[in-house]
A and B are shown apart, each in its own frame.
Chain A
């Protein structure tokens, strides 16, 4: 079985401050981990992924995420948030042997000017 938890429904930060969106996962084998962003009335956009290799993964729009195997976490980070980063963020995981992704419930990020 595989699952994802995003413990925060909402994250509020001021523009220019660091942004962190938390994600923890559970899989029986090696995880493939993904972050997606959804802007209002739009489909999901791929941000970044971890398959193997360096634990720090860099993605689109200045986002990065750190894979921590011991804590089974894959938190999304951005050093300096922009108002335009306000959106719904989804973490997703699948076991390397599985075909389908399991998504978290999503975290709404609001960046205030």
Chain B
């Protein structure tokens, strides 16, 4: 079946602009996660959605970052007033429930110039 998809695959933006990154999880997966992977570093947890529960936003680095998940499926990660340090690969993952392994999308490479 179809895996996790993310769009765009690459995004180049100017400092100060807003960007939106999209994630389509695997159908039927109730849990959705966003991570950030900076060059040469591991994965940094950003936010977690589980069903209709309030999201766990504890990993968001600043109030410029926000995310929503509509209808329990598609999720959008928004970064306002982008800064150069926001440049990274943003990965989305989904799982059946929180106990299960996560399946990752290919990521969106964000470059802030």
Contact = CB atoms under 8 A, between A and B. Distances in A.
Interface string B1-20: 00010000000000000000
A43 B103 CA distance: 9
B25 interface: no
B106 A99 contact: no
Interface in A8-63: 32, 34, 36, 42-46, 49, 51
Given A99-B98, A100-B33, A100-B59, A90 B43 contact: yes
Contacts of B91: 43-44
B41 A46 contact: no
B104 A44 contact: yes
Chain B contact patch, size range: 20 to 34
Interface residues of A, number: 20
B109 to A, nearest CB: 9
B101 A46 contact: yes
B42 A46 contact: no
B107 A103 contact: no
B56 A100 contact: yes
Interface in B51-80: 56, 59
A101 B41 contact: no
A106 B44 CA distance: 12
Given A32-B99, A100-B59, A43 B106 contact: yes
- Closest 10 A/B residue pairs (Cβ): A43-B104, A44-B104, A103-B43, A105-B42, A43-B106, A46-B101, A103-B42, A100-B45, A99-B98, A99-B48
Interface of B: 4, 31, 33, 35, 41-43, 45, 48, 50, 56, 59, 91, 93, 98-99, 101-107
Interface of A: 32, 34, 36, 42-46, 49, 51, 90, 96, 99-106
